[in-house]
Amino acid sequence: MSSSADRKDQQLEGFRAEDPASGPLTTDQGVTVDHTDDSLAAGERGPTLMEDFHFREKLTRFDHERIPERVVHARGAGAYGYFEPYESCAEFTRAAFLQDPAVRTPVFVRFSTVQGPRGSADTVRDVRGFATKFYTSEGNYDLVGNNFPVFFIQDGIKFPDFVHAVKPEPHNDIPTGASAHDTLWDFVSLQPETLHAIMWLMSDRAIPRSYRMMQGFGVHTFRFVNADGRGTFVKFHWKPRLGVHSLVWDEAQECQGRDPDFNRRDLWDSIEAGEYPEWELGVQLVPEEDEFAFDFDLLDATKIIPEEQVPVRPIGRMVLDRNPENFFAETEQVAFHTANVVPGIDFTNDPLLQARNFSYLDTQLIRLGGPNFSQLPVNRPLAPIRTNQRDGYHQSTVHRGTNYFPNSLGGGCPAHAGVDGEAITHYAERVDGAKIRRRSPSFQDHYSQPALFWNSMADWEKQHIVQAFRFELGKVETREIRSRTVEQLAHVDGGLATQVARGIGVAEPSGAAEAASKLSTPALSLESLGGHGPIRTRRVAVLLTDGVDAQQVASVREQLVAQGAVMEALAATDGTVATADGERYAVDRALPTVASVLYDAVLLPGGPTGTPPVTADPDAMRFVRGAYQHGKPVAALGSGVGVLSALQPEGVRLSTEFHRVVADQGVITDTSPGTASTEFVQAFVDAIAAHRFWNRPPVHG
């Protein structure tokens, strides 16, 4: 780790609390306390005395423990790490942290959901925040993005309207952490600019499998500025090393009950296990002279630049390798701001970005109780701070000297930076025009890019999108809102609108509207992005019962764990099961406490005394059926193949006495006795790496 990262650790060290084991309990003033279970009172049954300063301090501090949660992105998880560039980006930007591959810049990243409060579940259908704070040598730079590359509105003046609409209904504060209600879809049906982001929201992108398997985007078009003052438009992309993977809707709903902290736990556990999440930072670069070379406006936050037109150029990687020590002090109090930029990175006239540059700071002032939140350890820059700002709530710096400029009593310090190009300077862009409230005509195409997204989806992705629209609009009580939304979808794709209408009981769109676009781009499809990456941290469930062949389990476990997979033994009850050789095998979890939605693959080992797990066990059969129906890899050995046979998967070949290893549509079987062969394990590994098999036939057992 670089010296800058060490400095950040040292900076945090100075704010850490005393070791609880280093001495007796004290008050906030350091006075030792010998009793904290009873208030000071006038006699054993008398009134509590106001002079009990320990009681008053303890209760007062408790009463004020909570700060206002974020209006949006309230529920989140964070981690520390580092960023390092692949090579110098001096051709495009003078930002110091993008110059030297040998320099690691410390970062803090916060992932979040948008709609729900802090107590909502992780796996709701929602946008995910992906905010990165770079502690650079030139000051803090915040890349405040989402896992969608587009937003719902074009101008920030509409942000209060959008958030009010997507938040719970005002009369009953329902639903929590969900968009399936009248006010959101009323807004959508009247604001076609929302449709592109809505298409992303209805896709599986809105329910990521893991933060570690989620893309991130800067959303807006920003500007790089190099040492010569030349500007280049830039869009930021984070690409996860593990591939891009998502849940499906019924999985996400069950996760909310089985483990509402599914994504937060996954991030924390992976880092604790040393499986550090990694993303590659890429940029799309557009020369200033090509600003108007597209059939959309670069300043429109509801549009993407297709990668076929401007490829994503990798420029560095980010690794998260340390969990926070205290959720409140770090993850809850971290304050991001789109206007926190460093020399070499600047803004454009995107009206949504311009609004965010005001709103973030304004929000932090009330949420964190005043202007000194940048002094909190998680927010404090590594770069030196020399300002004339003073006082205010929670001022923790003891200032000396003068507090104004210009001055002579302080020797003119702190003085302006020199003219050697180190100071931040705004890009010299000519701006003129009449003062008006009017949207540019170049922002008016609201249907082409939603159609581009739809056209880019695989068939199974399209099916999931239709199902999502039917679920969401099926929760809308006002029929007129349902119909208006279908009319809007007809402008995107007539087939999409027709399928949605048939599911929600409204009239199908009349006539065959011409598709808004016939273009497509593979970069938008999960089928293209998932790939066959590493299986590190993939969770594999092994279903056991008495009589299991422990050697079979061990042979698979050894090879999968060597590749970084996590295997858990599940059985009808906790404790142990009896193996075929009379030993006991430890069970990690009892089947009634988990579900297949919490795992990425299933192994069914065999045994000479039966078919583990027995087909009579409803929990076991439900588990296997769920994994199969969700397209997850299922492997079976020996008599374990009988479980799959009982489910009667049509059109899927299973191993028989005439076959050794059969791999078909993510179902890997081998009826041979004894330990698992290398061929079997490799087929299972390949299936896990592929993640899902969506074209499987149904099961009937």
What amino acid positions are annotated as catalytic residues? 73, 146
**DSSP character for 321?**
E
Which residue matches tokens 């082409």? 448
Which runs of consecutive H residues, i.e. helices, occur in 310-456? 351-367, 448-456
Output the CA torsion 148→149→150→151 (10° steps). Answer: 50
Q: For the CA atoms of 345, 349, 355, 356, what is the dihedral angle to 10 degrees?
A: -20
* Cα 214 from Cα 247, distance rounded (Å): 11
DSSP 116: S
Token pair in block for residue 691: 């993640």
Secondary structure E strands in 194-240: 216-217, 222-225, 231-240
Q: Tell me the Ramachandran region of residue 651: left when phi exceeds 0, alpha when psi lies from -120 to 50, beta otherwise.
A: left
Instruction: Find, among 279, 311, 216, the residue nearest to 521 by Cα.
Output: 311
Q: Which residue has the tokens 């090393």?
A: 241
| Count of C-beta atoms within a 10 Å radius of residue 534 | 15
Cβ neighbours of 615 (radius 10 Å): 16
Side-by-side strand order, sheet with 566-571: 589-590, 566-571, 539-543, 601-604, 634-637, 667-670, 661-664
Residue with tokens 């001495």: 23
Amino acid at 657: E
Per the CB < 8 A criterion, the answer to whether 542 and 568 are in contact is yes
Q: Which amino acid is at 246?
A: S
Contacts of 459 (CB under 8 A, 6+ apart): none
End-to-end CA distance of the chain: 54
Token pair 């780790």 in the structure block, residue: 1
**What type of residue is 404?**
Y
Instruction: List 322's β-bridge partners, or say none.
Output: 80
Chain centre to alpha carbon of residue 116: 14
The closest alpha carbon to 350, from 483, 175, 233, belongs to 233
DSSP-H helix ranges across 218-261: 249-258
Q: Are strands 313-322 and 566-571 parallel, antiparallel or unpaired?
A: unpaired
What is d(CA 541, CA 675) in angstroms, rounded to the nearest whole number?
18
Of 32, 117, 9, whose CA–CA distance to 73 is shortest? 117
Nearest-angstrom CA–CA distance, 387 and 700:
71
Phi-psi region of 665 (alpha: psi -120 to 50; beta: other; left: phi over 0): left
**SS3 for 48?**
strand
Tokens of 165: 């609409």
8 A C-beta contact, residue 675 and residue 605? no
Which amino acid, 287? Answer: P
Cβ contact 676:552 at 8 Å? yes
- Give the span between the Cα atoms of 131 and 216, in whole angstroms: 9
